[in-house]
Amino acid sequence: MDIGILKRITFIVADAQTSAQFYQDVFGWTIWYDNIVKADKRFPPSGAPDLAEVRLIILEAKDPKLGKLGLLEYIDQPFDTGHLTNRTKVRMGEPVMVIESKDIEGVYERAQLAGANVITSPVDWHVPTPDGLSTIHLRTVSMFDPNGIYMEVSDHPSRED
């Protein structure tokens, strides 16, 4: 049964505008939504008072319906806004953001300039296709954005059938 489509992931950040600028600079994404809204204390359950003011910026990649990235900033932060810097390892339970790009070398260069902690320069590797009958070739950059959010950015330069 297929009853849901993953449209967006939203990260809670200390500064939505600065965070959005990183993704605009590195990936060329555009702002689809940018507003101050009232957040119900249950969505997400942050400990903030009911109807807390938040700034929500949603960035749009190539697809107008899918692949959006939300950045949510509480105006009066109900929690510690610090984040880990110079990260080199992921932690249990945290997401891995996977992005496809045809400009891996450019992403690598722009990410370094924009303050990412790049774990590896572009590397070539491969995985089996879902049916196991062929190989998917990847060229991937591994990094943490300035908020400490981990991502793998890959290109699929060729595919063996």
**Structural domains of the chain, ranges and CATH numbers in brackets:** 8-74 (3.30.720), 97-160 (3.30.720.110)
Q: What is the pLDDT of residues 35-69, one digit of tens each?
A: 999 998 888 888 888 889 999 999 999 887 788 99
Give per-residue pLDDT as tens, 2-14.
778 888 999 999 9
Cα–Cα distances in Å, from 92 out to 11, 25, 87, 89? Answer: 17, 29, 14, 10
pLDDT in tens, 99-125: 999 999 999 999 999 999 999 999 999
Q: What is the pTM of this model?
A: 0.89
Closest of 143, 148, 107, 125 to residue 25, by C-alpha: 107
d(CA 62, CA 67): 8
